[in-house]
Structure 1
């Protein structure tokens, strides 16, 4: 059964300026809350401090855990959904201050220094102007140097393919073939395979792997043991899950477990 979502409209929303190019707020929304579709005139980074969020823009979705942040350029319509209990930093950014793209979202890795700078700057916690500007400059440099990660999940508009993708998102661990899914959406396996390529420029197998990766990152961020995560996303053999994860991101899932543990100490 879907979660009951509570609409959440966060305040304050101080606009960044060339003199104050990054404004940081700590948001504490209700569990399973949703910031409904909207746009900003400025860029923003959404960086979970606890839990994970799901960020959607037209045609794409990201699940973002607490050691990652998603960049949303100005003018791009987006929705932010809390996956359970969440608090997060949002950094409103003067777009010219960064080298991040102005026409597409991306996910960046959040270093311990970047996180601590966000904590220090949140809601004007650092009142001494000289120190605040120094911290802001260092925060911008950390964002510029942050590695990007391929965690986006493209979403289709074609009715049959979207029905399939939504069903798969509800059961990311299902091992059904495309032929087994096809009767559920009223299209042949051949038609669905073609739609994956024409609508999403990918294959059924690649899209499912990205879905499982997104779900796994969310579960790891919630503290679920890796063996249970592997089963949840369709890998009865944990080493096979670790191999898939490492091939996709360049590091094993244990890296995220260790990162979260280090930040909690």
Structure 2
């Protein structure tokens, strides 16, 4: 069986002492973290909570199994920040903002990646969500959101956008709600207001900004803007953009002139597109890709959401060329934890006090996951064997899969099985399973119901098919069908 779901996140703890001369924020995304300071104070933080640590605050921390804690440092402390350890709560809608801040504040490996001030509201123990609504990740919702982001004044109804995206209105409605936590109407409203704020900051009159983003009435625009930002458009225009929470944030994509990797760098592309060059060959990574770049690779373009998973010297790892694997959304929390576990002081508890001469043993869990995913992707492509007899066996199975005569296609001589393994890298049994899942994926994308797909690929019970599909793809058939449009954004095909 080919398993693509991540292993559980283990218990972590602080690896070694530190003495930061800047503030440190730690935010608990999942699970529970416990923190103690040298003066005896104890903090227990559950998911959705954070803690502010002023500069030079000696402390220790540890997590329960399954906890994902994101540290943020290199912060520009806002005026009025607490001068002692303080906890705060993170509204659900602000979670995406903090996840986006993590790679900007935690690393300096990418050219142009710099920190930005933490929202000033942290001083009063509250975080305000970004003015820009989160982008959907895949499928019709992503395509519609991309169009509206570039042309916010378009006034099509949800039904018209669904027709444009070649999906049903319900599919588009569910896509926005599942991927952004907002209805389509709410997402479009926030997107329009964010674009209007940028126009106002550039000096555009209120009426022009309102019309440009699709508001028919200047008065309606003024009311919506004030409800969102607490200021009228005129009041906002008179102030510096950076004084308004969530407005004037950096462009999520930067294009430096190019920077050469000094070490072997493994990057996870959470969103956007990464482009690198090595030996005159261009490598492109899109959302969900993990690219392992050897020292000497030139990063031409990278999104701010690119998260370093592993940075190792050439003595630790020898890479002859870049490598790439694709991970489903089921891996999101694990990959964020993997980045924290290799790049910060929050290491797996089993590593506490372990100081190898070379860093590779500390990165073994990330490298193993990458190698396993490469192997799974190879299986997903369902390569056909070159040997005539093995190819005939593969063809016979593909013609009979799900039919009454399928069992007959399983009878293959041992010598053919051996050739099959040599040509494809898989046993005949694993190859058949991969072929079933590939056929199922295509049928689901074409809109066939899950129960019918299960029977078509040889399962008598839909529940057995759902479990097998989830184990293989890291996502259930219904969720896959909900998120996937005509273009296969999520899985390698």
Which structure has more relative contact order (CA 8 Å, sep 6+)? It is 1
Larger radius of gyration between Structure 1 and Structure 2: 2
Query: So what's the TM-score if we normalise by structure 1?
Result: 0.49
Specify which structure has the higher proportion of strand.
1
Query: So what's the TM-score if we normalise by structure 2?
Result: 0.28
